[in-house]
Amino acid sequence: MARLPRLVVPNQPHHILQSGIDQQPIFRDAADHTQFLGWLRDAARQFKVAVHAYVLLPSQIQLLVSPSDNTGLARMMQWVGRHYVPYFNAKYQRAGTLWQSRYKATVIESENYFLTCSQYIELSPVRHGLAGMPGEYPWSSHAHHAGMRSDPLIHDHPLFWALGNTPFDREAAYRSLIDQGLVESQWLALETAVAKGWPLGSEKFLKVLAKQTSRRVSPAKRGRPAKPKAEAEPI
């Protein structure tokens, strides 16, 4: 069965995952991270994609973004790849693709999953054993949200602003969410959604999304349709 085209919904948050081929490193030193983030910032501005959270792991990129139209997200990812891959190949004397496959993307429901997805992204270095605390890992948006430094790449989402009336209040509230962590079911829900590309949200959200996009937004049930029950004969 042919796969459905990637679902992109303007002004809705999307969780993005891009992995290195065969899980090989796509960042080897600080300069690699800095180059990638610079190109990502330029592309996000050029193609009008708001970046809300990110993490650059050794062999994986995760983003939480809101594109302003149907094409900006793909154009942003392609533009960054066209700059970063030649840079990386020339620097490390390699050839060929750097990516495992095309990037994965899933639309998420803001109210129920935006902050959870942001936590998921910024807690990933801890989950992968790369840092003891999110603030110890330099290549994520956590320092921005926790009030440690301002990150010019980040465009704060209204739900982050709703955490408090002042920057101090918002940052403290967000640090509290990070300290609470995520339960395993939350990790699994986000991992499964982005891996398979299906939207993540409540049943109501999925119904609205299906109507809005005129396409299927959840996996079809396997097997043949159930046969209708035979009506009982009158006694």
Question: Domain containing 46 — which CATH number?
Answer: 3.30.70.1290
Q: Inter-axis angle of helices 184-196 and 110-127, to 10 degrees?
A: 100
| pTM score of the predicted model | 0.90
Bridge-partner residues for 186, per DSSP? none
Query: What's the confidence (pLDDT) of residue 235?
Result: 39
Query: What's the confidence (pLDDT) of residue 220?
Result: 63
Flag whether 231 is in a domain. no
Flag whether 125 is in a domain. yes
Tell me how many domains the chain contains: 1
Mean pLDDT, the chain cut into blocks of 10 residues (235 residues total): 74 97 95 98 98 98 97 97 97 94 94 96 97 96 96 97 96 97 95 92 92 79 56 48
Query: What's the confidence (pLDDT) of residue 1?
Result: 40
Flag whether 8 is in a domain. no
Query: What's the confidence (pLDDT) of residue 214?
Result: 81
Q: How far is CA 70 from the centre of its chain?
A: 16
Query: What's the confidence (pLDDT) of residue 227?
Result: 59
Flag whether 3 is in a domain. no
Measure the CA–CA gap between 69 and 107, rounded to whole angstroms.
13
Domain that holds residue 53: 14-206
Flag whether 230 is in a domain. no
Task: Check the CA dihedral 77-83-88-93 and report its sign.
Answer: positive
Flag whether 211 is in a domain. no
Flag whether 6 is in a domain. no
Flag whether 36 is in a domain. yes
